[in-house]
Structure 1
Amino acid sequence: MKTTESPGRPEIVRRATDLVDLIRKHAAWQEENRVLHEEVLEGVADAGLLKLRVPARYGGHEADMGTVVEVISELSRGDGSLGWVFNAWMNGCWLVGLLPDEAQDEIFADPKGVGIGLSVSPGGTARPTAGGVVLNGRWPFCSGVLHGPWFVHSAVLVGEDGGRSPVMVTVPASDLGVVDDWHTAGLRATGSVTTVAEDLFVPDARVLPMVPLLAEGRHRSRLNADSPVWQAPFSPAASAVGSAPALGVAQAAWDVFFERLPERRITFTRYERQTDAPLTHHQVAEAAMKIDEAGFHVRRVARRVDAKTAAGESWTAAERAMSRLDMGAATQLAKEAVDVLKTASGGSSIYADAPIQRIERDVLAINLHGVLHPNTNMELYGRVRCGLEPNTDLL
């Protein structure tokens, strides 16, 4: 396919910024209906954002990680649910870019780009058959499955000899059964429902063995082999992408706090204007510091991914663990910033039409995610720095 010139980082990030007002207009509807609004999805596609991690030969941007995290942060500033789904899509696109090129020809066919959801929980089994595998299983937390045509599932490949190994399988979203169980406190509009596969045939070209990918960086694409995008290790790349939604949600809390601030007083005090209170000054400074620190961690892991892949450098276990640390730290700091601003917003902020209450629930949901959880990532980094083996395969 024809390769088109991709926009530079300021332009593509500006396109994401330009969507923030549209996204916020639909945020309450999205939360109530537990899906993303069609106008929001069309806006993202029309802005070319779905092409960020699509190979250039399909008209994609093959954007660097620094660009990707800034775009995710801006979309999350509009609505955390959109930012979370977009984060899943970027990881899904990246994984599809590791498949054999003939599989990519089918999946990346749409010139506007494609939303490819992702679930990292190995909730199913894949058994070899002629030409591929037969997939069975049940997977919760399937972010993006309701909003895009393709989905990447984790599964355990069970060999004829009884051996078991992890694989990623890419399937049409329409081939999966859906259990409408996404009734949650936060990130409601992600529509991260449970999906089911029953004797679903998946051709070999859409099956990706994970051990060679995680341990050795080997994948199955010939045409993407020299691209820096697909030379990055999975865990550091996913850590950069996964850290960005929390930053954007914290920035959203900052925005909505200052939108309400000029009209607010502090009830049962003599402060007719909240802006005059020294306490407010302290709260604003504390929130700003935490948001800046969260941004530091998001951008540090993104810069490291870009720099090391461009230089062709290998990754030490400590560097990989630090990527997870950055993700956990950014997630925690964003939550702390939102908590400060929510506390400063007063009792009126508990009404359902106050955006900050949705923001608070979204950032809490992000912090509870198994891979992003700050405590888990702190422990992992500490283990590695103390000379112990990591207690996870996602490194």
Structure 2
Amino acid sequence: MTTTDAPTREDLVGRAAELVPLLRRHAPWAEEHRRLHEEVVEALTAADMFKLRRPRQYGGLEVDTRTLVDVATELGRGDGSAAWVTSVTWIPGWMACMFPDHVQDEVFAGPDTRVCGTLSPSAMAFPAEGGVVVNGKWQFISGAHHADWQVIIAIHVPAEGEPYPVIGLVPMADLLIVDDWNTFGLKGTGSVGTVAKDLFVPQDRILPLPVVLAGQSASKVNAESPIYRSPLLPVASASSVGAIVGLGRAAQDAFLHRLPGRKISYTGYDSQREAPVTHLQVADAVLRLDEAEFHAHRLTALVDGKGAGGGEWTLTERVQARADMGAVVQRAKEAVDILAGASGGSSIYTDLPIQRVMRDIHAVHLHALMHPNTNAELYGRVLCGLEPNTLYI
């Protein structure tokens, strides 16, 4: 889908909203087959959902993170797995834009390139003539089934000096996909493992990870674009939270859809809608979702504002970005738990979407970089005057 003029945020959010019925229809299939349905991937592609972080010189849209959140929120209302895969694609897609321009020419040669990736350095890289040789396995590679390239992270062991983490770009054709995605939540994401065996990666497709974490681009073309001059973790945080808000709104939609005509069994209430406890539960859940949305939008305001202004990020701002991401996850999970707990015994049947939403949000809550306690501890540590105990800020 292309237009003469760049689509507005409202245009893109509208496109995402139009996909909700399709995503809901295919969500059970995605769960059963542990990957997105091809019709869903095609629809997301046609709606330009994978182009939101692609550079303009390659036909991309270069939207701000506020747009990412609002788009992913709509997608999450349809299917958490589809929203998650789309959101996760935006992050390694952004990381690819840190590489030299001639590398990007290769990566974005196709009109609909999709990039998957990871932030975990679970492989080793050793020097070779003209590059490095990589061996290792990466897990949780969301969208690998539908990707053209993968961002990999490895520990580089130089001939002299200390080992250090590096980021690389490799074609999916050079990797082995391991079908190990058997989970209780986010089942439709197809977040399989990938393996590199004696894989040669040219030096120009390798960058030191700390450079990318700091948002220092090797691209001359992208250097002046506001969306490519922020640190990686705030960008990744802002790119991912919309899907979480969307999961919460999906639970709200599902609960209110079933509410008319539902009884509260073994009570005198012929309509759950009449019970004061229901009013309290719905208000509590929706207020928590409103709080999640606040933190998501505060995060995007920070990232977009710093990108537009070009100022240096303070340490407090960087850890606040992670704290806001954790707060989104915590508030959304609390809201979903309230609504799922109020949905009655019949809600455990797999043809009702709220049980899938509950499992998906619990899976998100366990994500190492999104876990509320981890992010709150980091934020509090820095607020107390201590140095961060992680590179991932």
Same fold (TM over 0.5): yes
Over 3 Å counting, the alpha-carbon distance change for 1:106 and 1:4 in structure 2 is farther
Alignment TM-score, normalising by the size of structure 1: 0.97
Cα offsets for 1:303-328 (capped at 9, x unmatched): 11111111111111111111000000
1:83-102 aligned within 5 A: 83-102=83-102
1:210 and 2:209 are equivalent in the alignment: yes
1:197-346 aligned within 5 A: 197-215=196-214, 217-346=215-344
1:155 and 2:151 are equivalent in the alignment: no
1:68 and 2:68 are equivalent in the alignment: yes
* Cα distance in 1, alignment partners of residues 241 and 127 from structure 2: 36
Q: CA deviation at 1:235?
A: 1.1
Amino acid at match of 1:310: A
Map of 1:77 onto structure 2:
77
SS in structure 2 at match of 1:181: coil
* Cα distance in 2, alignment partners of residues 24 and 213 from structure 1: 36
Map of 1:172 onto structure 2:
171
* Cα distance in 1, alignment partners of residues 212 and 350 from structure 2: 45
Map of 2:123 onto structure 1:
124
Bigger mean CA deviation after superposition, 131-140 or 329-338: 131-140
* Cα distance in 2, alignment partners of residues 219 and 48 from structure 1: 25
> Does structure 1 conserve the Cα–Cα contact (< 8 Å) formed by 2:217 and 2:229?
no
Bigger mean CA deviation after superposition, 122-131 or 19-28: 122-131
SS in structure 2 at match of 1:163: coil
> Does structure 2 conserve the Cα–Cα contact (< 8 Å) formed by 1:3 and 1:56?
no
Map of 2:133 onto structure 1:
134
* Cα distance in 2, alignment partners of residues 321 and 205 from structure 1: 31
> Does structure 2 conserve the Cα–Cα contact (< 8 Å) formed by 1:4 and 1:56?
no
Over 3 Å counting, the alpha-carbon distance change for 1:130 and 1:5 in structure 2 is farther
* Cα distance in 2, alignment partners of residues 190 and 131 from structure 1: 35
* Cα distance in 2, alignment partners of residues 263 and 203 from structure 1: 63
* Cα distance in 2, alignment partners of residues 213 and 36 from structure 1: 30
Over 3 Å counting, the alpha-carbon distance change for 1:120 and 1:4 in structure 2 is farther
Cα offsets for 1:356-388 (capped at 9, x unmatched): 111100000000000000000010000000000
> Does structure 2 conserve the Cα–Cα contact (< 8 Å) formed by 1:141 and 1:193?
yes
Map of 1:369 onto structure 2:
367
Cα offsets for 1:206-230 (capped at 9, x unmatched): 2121122334x32211100000010
* Cα distance in 2, alignment partners of residues 125 and 5 from structure 1: 45
> Does structure 2 conserve the Cα–Cα contact (< 8 Å) formed by 1:297 and 1:327?
yes
Q: CA deviation at 1:175?
A: 1.5
* Cα distance in 1, alignment partners of residues 121 and 212 from structure 2: 16
* Cα distance in 1, alignment partners of residues 306 and 41 from structure 2: 33
Give unpaired runs (5+ residues) of structure 2.
none
Give unpaired runs (5+ residues) of structure 1.
none
Bigger mean CA deviation after superposition, 268-277 or 3-12: 3-12
Map of 1:106 onto structure 2:
106
Bigger mean CA deviation after superposition, 342-351 or 202-211: 202-211
Task: Report % sequence identity.
Answer: 51
* Cα distance in 2, alignment partners of residues 135 and 71 from structure 1: 36
* Cα distance in 2, alignment partners of residues 53 and 22 from structure 1: 23
Cα offsets for 1:110-148 (capped at 9, x unmatched): 22x322111111110112222221111011111121121
> Does structure 1 conserve the Cα–Cα contact (< 8 Å) formed by 2:152 and 2:167?
yes
* Cα distance in 2, alignment partners of residues 373 and 43 from structure 1: 31
Amino acid at match of 1:57: Q
SS in structure 1 at match of 2:248: helix
Q: CA deviation at 1:5?
A: 3.5
Q: CA deviation at 1:246?
A: 1.3
* Equivalenced residues, count: 392
Map of 1:27 onto structure 2:
27
Q: CA deviation at 1:6?
A: 1.8
* Cα distance in 2, alignment partners of residues 103 and 67 from structure 1: 27
SS in structure 1 at match of 2:230: coil
Amino acid at match of 2:330: Q
Over 3 Å counting, the alpha-carbon distance change for 1:212 and 1:299 in structure 2 is same
Q: CA deviation at 1:162?
A: 4.8
Amino acid at match of 2:143: G
* Cα distance in 2, alignment partners of residues 187 and 64 from structure 1: 26
Cα offsets for 1:272-296 (capped at 9, x unmatched): 1111111111111001100000001
> Does structure 1 conserve the Cα–Cα contact (< 8 Å) formed by 2:49 and 2:86?
no
Alignment TM-score, normalising by the size of structure 2: 0.97
Map of 2:14 onto structure 1:
14
Bigger mean CA deviation after superposition, 351-360 or 70-79: 70-79
* Cα distance in 2, alignment partners of residues 297 and 148 from structure 1: 30
1:393 and 2:388 are equivalent in the alignment: no
Map of 2:186 onto structure 1:
187
CA RMSD of aligned residues (A): 1.4
